[in-house]
Amino acid sequence: MRHAGKLSSRAFTDAMRESFSAEKDLDAFLDYRFKQDGCDGPAYVPVVAGGINANTIHYVSNDMQLKQEDLVLVDAGAKYGGYVTDITRTWPVSGIFTPAQKDLYNLLLSVQRTCVALCRTSSQYSLDKLHQTAYNLLATGLKDLGFNMEHGATHILFPHHVGHYVGLDVHDSPGLSRTRLFEKGMCVTVEPGIYVPKDDRWPRWAHGIGMRIEDSVCVDEESPYVLTTEAVKEVVDIEALKGASTRL
């Protein structure tokens, strides 16, 4: 899983350096890189969702054009030796975040980092407790950004669970309860997201933005091991990648 995570992460980072005009081209790039680097291939049907397509959680059409002003959400990973990895990154097609995109992204990244740090046995957390933490942090952060968070707003803007078990399958151990406390050696995903419908209930500057940040994480006693750490996710690092590519 470490090997699959390392190679998958590097493929993501290399994809961020490139320019793609269509979702299918980005999809093909990752498929090629996973296999070229020695993995068995994609671990599952990837999501490559530009713009508002990211608001469809399990979007797999991957056949639309990419617009320079939009974000692209990519959920993919490679399989190696029967084991899988699961990564999601969201980045601007142009390589530069708009102020609105950056505000939402930095909130999401802060929540994701907090949740990753809790993937240790000493936290006495479970996936369900982790989800509640992500839910509460997103609700507070979105309210600070001007969102009306009354009447179930968080469920609309963050409609899926924060994570699942991962290993031999992308959704591994389906019979293992998400209420079970973390144990050393468990592997889980941490994937909070924000998806803003085009609805007058939400700030107009955020309409249509969809984003998710996901890592595969191995639980340890005090310090979680992030299997997918080489896929960059800081705003400054993402923007620097495209800038460096342009200068070559």
Question: What does the radius of gyration of the chain's CA atoms come to, in whole angstroms?
Answer: 17
What is the average pLDDT across 168-178?
95
pTM of the model: 0.96
* DSSP tag of 171: T
Q: Which amino acid is at 112?
A: Q
Q: Residue 245: pLDDT band by 50, 70, 90 thresholds? A: low
Backbone angles phi, psi at 171, to 5 degrees: -115, 85
Question: Chain-wide mean pLDDT for the chain?
Answer: 96
Secondary-structure percent of the chain, ordered helix, strand, coil, rounded to 5:
40, 20, 40
* N- to C-terminal Cα separation, the chain: 33
Supply the pLDDT for residue 247. 46
Supply the pLDDT for residue 244. 58
91 within 8 A of 20, measured Cβ to Cβ: no
pLDDT 10s digits, 94-110: 999 999 999 999 999 99
pLDDT 10s digits, 40-74: 999 999 999 999 999 999 999 999 999 999 999 99
Bridge partners of 47, per DSSP, are: 75
* DSSP tag of 229: T
Q: Which option is the CATH number for 2-247: 3.30.70.420, 3.30.457.10, 3.90.230.10, 3.40.1390.10?
A: 3.90.230.10
Task: Assign 214 to helix, strand or coil.
Answer: strand
Task: Assign 192 to helix, strand or coil.
Answer: coil
Q: Within 10 Å of residue 180's Cβ, how many Cβ atoms?
A: 13
- Kind and range of the H or E element at 216? strand 215-218
116 within 8 A of 224, measured Cβ to Cβ: yes
